[in-house]
Structure 1
């Protein structure tokens, strides 16, 4: 299927690895012109149809600088993918979590997307062509909220709420905004040297591979984590004009983890 993304200008945040890198590769393969933002862009150098941009998206000016670079380079922004984010396991419980740690999580997981969206919408509103925004959220925003990632879940819940509200305001102006909510994904966030599985294993005296197996046994009927490429495919579909009447929606990709019916 042609997703009709040829020469669309797509901005991706948190683009250097994991889901972000998979989104960059998927959009570029569809013929889009991708501006890829991340603190380290070494893995993005030399990729066809990709313009890397080194930026700290957790700073107040970073997201706007990324959008401005895309406009300066390509003249516009057609698609924004808010992917940047990180979760830290809070094994010490709620009382060990400081205001500074909570604020840092909100900056990266919520405010970075909010600021990028504000800058992208300002550009999209100046043109007649439609625009699309896709947020990469998390099942932690609503599914059995986990105290171990309380700050991350709260930030992702805020992002989902804002996306739903914005969809009502922006739809009459030709801008769609949707969310993708992955469960566990086979990335460094979950399976890396300092990822969720390794952190839990170190605290419990177990092995990361055993923690990984327990996560799957805990309720994933497919028997595995999602891949970054699977998440990226869903993101690209929501960015595509093929889904032009979809807005304000959230799509799960979780291997069947969530058993309840969602609105």
Structure 2
């Protein structure tokens, strides 16, 4: 199916690995020009180099960085049609997973909210004037199943992502009449560095369960999280949903949340 993204301009945050890298690769394959934003380059991102890819090095924890990124996108490609707020997860200096609400300090809560909510707020604030002037656009916020599945584990992260879901609805209500669609994709557990890196979630859970990393990802985590498919998702599966929502093919979809979570969410 042609997603009608040819020559559109997309800004993707957290683009150097995992879901962001898969989104970048997918949008390029659909003919989009992509501004890939990350704190550093990776070999996998470099492998996508070409005239339609611009890498912008930025630490989005800097409140001024999102505006600079949008200005660079406009300078390089003439505008922004799509914003994918993918950057998030574990900020520098914070360790996850944490099994209890009591394990996180005020400073950690603040860092998690900065990284998982306020980055998106600032990026949206920077891009909206560009989209409105052009007559429309699409914003896709990458949230989490934990936004709607409360858990004592990583309570601050779940609360920040719940704020992301609420923000999506608010923005859609205000800006859909002006041509800007805003939607959310909520992954469950995905095979990204958050799980697979040394010292990451799989290692932490393996230490608690007297197991090993591979067993956690292949068996224990799907069982613990009651994943209907019996497996963690692949980043490409998240990227496919993001690309569809970014596309004009989803012209009547706004304010929606798409769960791509291996059956993690059980409620209505």
User: TM-score normalized by structure 1?
Assistant: 0.94
Query: Where in structure 2 are the equivalents of 1:158-237 lying within 5 Å?
Result: 158-212=163-217, 213-218=219-224, 219-237=226-244
Q: Please list the CA deviations of residues 159-207 of structure 1 after superposition, one character each: whole Å capped at 9, or x if unmatched.
A: 1101101100001100000000000111111222232111222344432
Contact 1:105 1:155 in 2 (8 A): yes
| TM-aligned CA deviation for residue 258 of structure 1 | 1.5
Partner of 1:22: 22
Number of matched residues? 259
* Residues 18 and 166 of structure 1: CA distance in aligned 2, closer, same or farther (over 3 Å): same
Partner of 1:122: 129
Task: Give every structure 1 segment of 4 or more consecutive aligned residues whose post-TM-superposition deviation is greater than 4 Å.
Answer: none
Partner of 2:109: 102
Contact 1:41 1:53 in 2 (8 A): no
State the distance in 1 between where 2:110 and 2:220 align.
Answer: 31
Partner of 2:60: 57
Partner of 1:242: 249
Contact 2:10 2:34 in 1 (8 A): yes
State the distance in 2 between where 1:91 and 1:249 align.
Answer: 30
RMSD over equivalenced CA pairs, Å: 1.4
| TM-aligned CA deviation for residue 210 of structure 1 | 2.8
Tell me which moved more, 189-198 or 222-231: 189-198
Aligned to 1:34, the other structure's residue is in SS state strand
Aligned to 2:185, the other structure's residue is in SS state strand
| TM-aligned CA deviation for residue 242 of structure 1 | 0.4
Contact 1:12 1:36 in 2 (8 A): yes
